[in-house]
Amino acid sequence: MMRQYELVERVKSYDPQADEALLNRAYVYAMQMHGHQKRASGDPYISHPLEVAAILADLKLDDATIASALLHDTIEDTPATRDEIDKLFGKEIGSLVEGLTKIAKLDLVTRKAEQAENFRKLLIAITSDVRVLLVKLADRLHNMRTLSHVRPDQRKRIAEETMDIYAPLAGRMGMQWLREELEDHAFKALNPQAYDIVEKRLGELRENNKGLIDEIEIALRDKFAENGIKADVRSREKKPYSIWSKMERKQISLEQLSDIFGFRVIVKEPVDCYGVLGVVHTTWRVVPGRFKDYVSTPKQNDYQSIHTTIVGPRHQRVELQIRTNHMHNIAEYGIAAHALYKSSANGEEKISSRKKNLSLSQESNAYRWLRRLVEMLLEGDNPEEFLEHTKLELFHDQVFCFTPKGLLIALARGATPVDFAYAVHTDIGNSCVGCKINGRTMPLMTELKNGDEVDILISKSQTPPAAWERIVVTGKARSAIRRATREALREQYGKLGREILGRAFKRVGKSYRKATLERTLHRLSQKTVDDVLTAVGRGELPSADVLQAAFPDIPRPAPPKRRVAKRNDEGWFGLTKAIGLKFRLPGSASRDDGQSANGIPIKGLKGDLPVRFAERGGAVPGDRIVGIMEPGEGITIYPIHSDALKQFDDHPERWIDVRWDIDEKNTDRFPVQIIVTATNEPGTLAQIAQIIGENGGNIDNIKMQREAADYTNMLIDLEVWDLTHLNEIISGLNSKSVVSAVTRSQQ
């Protein structure tokens, strides 16, 4: 275990002006707060913050960050408070420690929601101070190094979270060594058999190629010396998880990998990178398709290097990464290198002062990307959407495309022109109607490739379809589409609400005016007139309440009498006579009477007509619903979210205002279809069926659709009592680790 005096000596070795008293006070306070707490390994708990601080000292971080590492668990796991930390160590350190503290108490339904909210809080803290991220990653690294001491169930959960979030986040921040170590620890915990196989084969290859590696290093050094190029040649070995994932991705054996052993050529200046490249390419044969220039086109995490593969000595394939020493520091330490160093007048790198240690990190492309990501995802999405979109941004490799004016746009691999449009600007994405790729008109779902020139065609009248969410791969595009869809739906409800109120005002001999509604906002507990119109359109605010608020002297009309619709043996419903309105928009079910009912009365008809639910689930009590007149057949009931309603958009005369009127004591079940995306492993179906059964649901039919090697979509026809019952089942399914997503069929 690292000792306190050793930690102080290590910090003073690279920063002689470090506040030794601050570090000692932080250690003593942490020691007192954690007291007799123990780690799962049996070690004193204080060993953990000491080791986290030691990792950060290896990165040469400032004394405030080291002190925060020593204190990072005090607010969360001890009686310490933020006010006390501020008083003893200052607000700067207090802010860092609080940023590292998980959400203590939240009314969250699932572990996934809790994880999402904690991650959301962490990213917000990171955008205020990047040192929060560095401490958090060091904390996770030490936890992974000691993962073998925790219970198997906890070990699996922590390893999955590391593989899903923290390792790719470290990679996106340019901290490649940290990403690789996190991935290897997680890989060993999640698939120990595969890890051992790869490690054994690596040992054999290492022994067999020992002489060859030395020979290649000498050959490269000699060739560079002959051409007057000063270069440092270093061999490197691919990590077990990186090897395994590449074998899985490309479906090849370990022997077929050509980059298990690679070489880094470190030079002084960027121009020397191209000098080395010229020597290498004129001396040995180049492997086609294996050249990438990240010096002229850096990655979003600031990574710069030239990659090439040659057929070198003994006819062996040799992968080379050519970079300067500065590029190498950025490649290995990423945002930490930006945060710690500044260039002096003579070009040497020196430790910056504690007050200035964020100046260069804020200029980092990786940090700018993170800030933009958080700002974008905070606009209205719930925590689980936030986590989903962040994972999309973290996991994908990149493709580089160009606008017609030559602007470079970096996108996730697999991106479409819709992703490209949103990357240029949100307004461009929202108004996109088509595209040209390299001068040819192509579908919007076309997968973009490196070097494509993309020209987006726009129309001011366009609104992004909700279906676009299924073809985009970037979090920015998906978030913007959801936001635009919500705004479009709100606008539809607003138009419907305006029509409802216009007719309601007319019935009492009044004219609808916006100014009249503005005077009633405080009575209706609404912020704007648009909020009133939307609430009326959704059926959440009866028009009678708005009339009463606007004209208190007008007597409130008595609710109309209604009869209960009874269900016959054929599953059809009889309807009562009524008078009412017809609306075109989905979700136009109004509640002008302000009451609930005991049936499904349909307004606007004379005489009794048969009514049935739409196929494939239809609607359940609690859904907002709409009726569609089927000539000669009666009326079909749809939930307003049904995609089938699109076919009736051009027939407004067939839309009928309906509402639920089900007795609370009703014992009938209603059909609904859900889509469960689950991992493909033994026992998955049993767990899903158990949850449905325990919650009182009835499975009518199941259809399995294999979407990928690891995931299966299950189309499950259920019978439930109402919407609340359905949501309880969905919530229960989401709590299972084998379930990736649960959605309701939109048909």
Question: Are 93 and 71 in contact, with CB atoms under 8 Å apart?
Answer: yes
Q: Is 351 helix (H, G, I), strand (E, B) or coil?
A: strand
Q: How far is CA 49 from CA 4, 39, 313, in A?
A: 11, 11, 48
Using N-to-C axis directions, what is the helix angle for 475-507 and 383-395, rounded to 10°? 150
Q: Which two tokens stand for residue 29?
A: 């306070």
Q: How far is CA 118 from CA 102, 165, 474, 610, in A?
A: 6, 12, 22, 52
User: b vs e for 361-393, b when ≥16 Cβ sit within 10 Å of the residue's Cβ?
Assistant: beebbbbebbbebbebbeeebebbbbbbbbbbb
Task: Characterise 456 by phi-psi region: left (phi > 0), alpha (psi -120 to 50), beta (else).
Answer: beta
DSSP letter (8 states) at residue 623? B
Question: Are 117 and 361 in contact, with CB atoms under 8 Å apart?
Answer: no
Residues in the chain: 747
Q: How many helices (H) and strands (E) does the chain have?
A: 29, 21
Q: List the one residue out of 494, 573, 504, 575 whose CA is nearest residue 538.
A: 494
DSSP letter (8 states) at residue 567? B
Q: How far is CA 178 from CA 37, 168, 333, 676, in A?
A: 28, 10, 8, 35
Q: Mind giving me the DSSP string for 233-291?
A: EEEEE--HHHHHHHHHHHT--GGG-S-SEEEEEEESSHHHHHHHHHHHHHHSEEPTT--
Query: d(Cα 346, Cα 484) in Å, to the nearest integer?
Result: 52
Ranges of beta strands (E only) in 384-460 are 398-402, 408-412, 432-437, 440-442, 454-458
Task: Please state whether beta strands 655-656 and 670-679 pair in parallel, antiparallel, or not at all (unpaired).
Answer: unpaired
Q: Is 402 helix (H, G, I), strand (E, B) or coil?
A: strand
Query: d(Cα 37, Cα 358) in Å, to the nearest integer?
Result: 34
Catalytic residues: 76-77
Query: d(Cα 83, Cα 428) in Å, to the nearest integer?
Result: 46
Q: Which two tokens stand for residue 141?
A: 């690294």
